[in-house]
Amino acid sequence: MATRRRRTTIAEVAARAGVSPATVSRVMNGRFVGEDTVAERVRAAAEELDYSPSPLARGLALGTTRTVAFVVPDLANPAFQDILSALSKSAARSGYRVLVADSVESPSDELAIATEIRRRCDAIVLCAPRMPESELVGAIEDLKPLVLINRPGTSADAPMLSIDYLTGIHHLAEHLYALGHRRMAYVAGPSTSASDRYRRRGLASFTAEHPDVELVTVTGGVGIDDGQAAAARVRSAGVTAALAFNDLVAIGLVHGLDELGVAVPDDVSVTGFDDIPFARYNSPSITTASVPHEELGVQAWDRMAALVAGKEPGHSVQFQPRLELRGSTAPPR
């Protein structure tokens, strides 16, 4: 078995160069303001001894950790996983790592979690925060540098990337209307979700434009189990189409309806939202509003990199979902 090579210590470099360990630290971190000959002697000693500062020690010396936090309400959702993956890869190219915290859809715990993890890193990305607007706005100064993802309509002073949920669900409803559906259900998300509120506004706008449509709202949630549990309520509502809060709910709803003997799309058409990979490979595949989750992660890092460098971040951006027509929707029988 190969013997692990011992790391050269800062004390050994200091002894070789004839200076203090503090001087070595300042030279290696680019903060030495003494004579050039001293700095050259330190660098020469470091090279001779093959010394490099540990990332932890360097971070402590510079007051940085080269980590950022990513706080999400539900990491089990593939949509958030895609954002995290793109954010982590982008950060790694700049020498940063990402810490992850899941608030488990608990608005009451979200601020405490964000505050705690912020103490351990240089900045934070809050993805789809569920906390009340007053808490979010009040916490901004303590959490900065901060980037927000999926918190449309907030007055928080931070760069933000969001999705036009209102327009996205409006387009889904228009698709169902064009197929001939006139009695529909909305399988709602959490009442604490800002994106749920925008979906409801989009549907309110849609029904105002189409007074011949009857829309009922049924309790849903965010996951597959929530969609499955909503199946009986959707069947009892006597609708020919259902718009689910997201793809996970839609997938659960499809399977729940199947267990009840209700065929999708023959008896009830179903739409989702997000376009996670599972939506494409479900049977039937899910008609949905496609969101560029990976691009959200890339753009979040672009803004975060600017913030931690003390520069102006890019503009806040709202992405328009793209309608993806698949097998879960059809004209009513």
Measured CA distances, 211 to 34, 72, 207, 239 (Å): 78, 38, 6, 16
Same fold, 10-61 and 67-162+293-320: no
Q: Give the tens place of pLDDT for each residue, 64-75.
A: 688 999 999 988
* Mutual angle of helices 165-179 and 194-209, in 10-degree steps: 40
Query: pLDDT grade, residue 54 (50/70/90)?
Result: low
- Mean pLDDT score of the chain, rounded to an integer? 90
Better pLDDT: 22 or 285 = 285
Single-letter amino acid code for the residue at 305:
A
What's the CATH code, domain 165-291?
3.40.50.2300
Is it the case that residue 51 has pLDDT exceeding 90?
Answer: no
Domain boundaries, the chain: 10-61, 67-162+293-320, 165-291
Query: Which CATH architecture is the domain 10-61 placed in?
Result: Orthogonal Bundle (1.10)
Is pLDDT of 38 > 80?
yes
Decide: 71 and 131 in contact? Cβ < 8 Å: no
pTM of the model: 0.79
Q: How many whole angstroms separate alpha carbon 212 and alpha carbon 221?
A: 27
Give 253-276 as a DSSP string. Answer: HHHHHHHTT--TTTT-EEE-SB--
Portion of the chain with pLDDT greater than 70, in percent: 94
Q: Are 329 and 270 in contact (CB under 8 A)?
A: yes
pLDDT at position 6, please?
Answer: 64
Write out the CATH class of domain 67-162+293-320: alpha beta
